[in-house]
Amino acid sequence: MAKKISQAVVKRLPRYYRYLETLENEGVSRVSSSSLAELLDITASQVRQDFCNFGGFGQQGYGYDVSKLKKEIQKIIGLDRNYNLIIIGAGNIGRALAGYKGFSSEGFFVKALFDVKVDEKETNGVGIFHMDALGEYVKNNKVDIAVITTQGSVAPSVCDELVSLGIKNIWNFAPIDLSVPSDVTVENISMSESLYVLSYRMNNEA
Amino acid sequence: MAKKISQAVVKRLPRYYRYLETLENEGVSRVSSSSLAELLDITASQVRQDFCNFGGFGQQGYGYDVSKLKKEIQKIIGLDRNYNLIIIGAGNIGRALAGYKGFSSEGFFVKALFDVKVDEKETNGVGIFHMDALGEYVKNNKVDIAVITTQGSVAPSVCDELVSLGIKNIWNFAPIDLSVPSDVTVENISMSESLYVLSYRMNNEA
């Protein structure tokens, strides 16, 4: 896709997908842009504009076909294929992610964990290896996404190592911004930032 | 604070805080709005506008005093006090959060976990109790924030129970939107949505 889609639209795609999945499970076969708009707290016109970015999905008088639209968005997000993940940092969060069933059900498979300290051979059925073995592992296995769940202080050097090994996609849980070459994609998820936003809102908006 | 601050500004506050903390640890005593702007990938004028919402913090020719500014933002976010947290859902993510040291260091203390299935008495030093004991616990203990780490399907009923018990602040990890009365604050963190954004970007922007 040549056209650059705005980040706001990209962030809404997973929510469209989630709602359509729920609707499909509930046996709903058609949905209007205004219903989707209400669920996402935007306007119906914004929904139609969002979809225009991807060709419009041909809404007719009756709204969109739920299953068809879900499949289109699934394909756009890239949820129509499988991904191999490795996790760097076998602490509480890394181990929890290795056992999180919600990922594998959508095609994201955690294949290995790496850490500088290896206390166990595996967690939740996923092998834990020493960081020294990372280079060899990446050379011999297809790794689509590396997840960084280390402490913030070591995350930049871990990231540099991953980049030097040819990893192109990084999902970063460490509370720090990572510098990567332009051909590497980093997506950050910051639990602290989310908690601090809650803290701000409970202290200032209540 | 009477004035309603935009969500974009609220979301930047934790990042300002994090950068100022890093600068302070590095022994930097003054910082300009343009340096902060570069770190946050916004303009210096936006930084000054952000701070204007809170009274401006009096930048002079030399920039802001790092420690003073950090303390101001800390106070605005509400990180100058302690919070008692309970976690509903003692699965992988709930247990990981109970052991996450980054929260207690900022004043967020996980006091108890609750689940419909209790296999162990505690995890990471935090007691695990049956959901049947939740009402009694909330009655007898100060709970500032309830964290929902259950599956999406049960999260709405868990949320209703928390609200009926008088909980006013909810940090939601379940991949579902929760309906709450206007005096209850919900902050969502969706790991799936973040992973799907990465998936989209690696498939479409690479």
Q: What is the pLDDT of residues A26-38, one digit of tens each?
A: 999 999 999 999 9
Provide, as residue numbers in chain A, all residues whose Cβ is less than 8 Å from the Cβ of B18: 175-176, 192-193
Specify which residues A36 forms β-bridges with: none
What pTM was computed for the model?
0.91
Whole-number mean pLDDT of chain A? 92
Please judge whether A78 and B175 are an interchain contact, meaning their C-beta atoms are less than 8 angstroms apart.
Answer: no
What residue in B sits closest to A16 (Cα-Cα)?
B193
CB contact under 8 A, B202 and A17: no
The candidate with the shortest Cα–Cα distance to B144, out of A203, A192, A205, is A203
Say if residue A95's pLDDT is above 50.
Answer: yes
Which value does ipTM take for this structure? 0.94
Q: Name which of B13, B42, B194, B195 to mutate to probe chain A: the one with the most chain A Cβ atoms within 10 A of its Cβ.
A: B195
Q: What local confidence, expressed as pLDDT, does residue B130 receive? A: 97
Q: How far B29 CA sits from the closest chain A CA (Å)?
A: 20
| CB contact set of A40 (below 8 Å; sequence gap of 6+) | A12, A15, A16, A19, A47
Give A128-156 pLDDT, tens digit per residue. 999 999 999 999 999 999 999 999 999 99
Q: Which residues of B touch A17 (CB under 8 A)?
A: 196
pLDDT at A1: 46
Whether residue B187 and residue A194 make contact (CB cut-off 8 A), yes or no, is yes
Residues of chain B with pLDDT under 70: 1-3, 59-60, 206
Burial of B186 (0-12, 13-18, 19+ CB in 10 A): middle
CA-wise closest residue to A173 among B151, B84, B100, B95: B100
- Of the candidates A73, A51, A23, the one whose C-alpha atom is nearest the C-alpha of residue A59 is A51
List pLDDT tens digits, range B15-38: 999 999 999 999 999 999 999 999
Which of A10, A183, A195, A204 has the most B C-beta neighbours within 10 Å, making it the best mutation to test the interface with B? A195
In the structure, what pLDDT confidence band is assigned to residue A60 with cuts at 50, 70 and 90?
A: low
Q: What span, in angstroms and rounded, lies between the C-alpha atoms of A66 and A24?
A: 6
Q: Are strands B108-115 and B122-123 parallel, antiparallel or unpaired?
A: unpaired
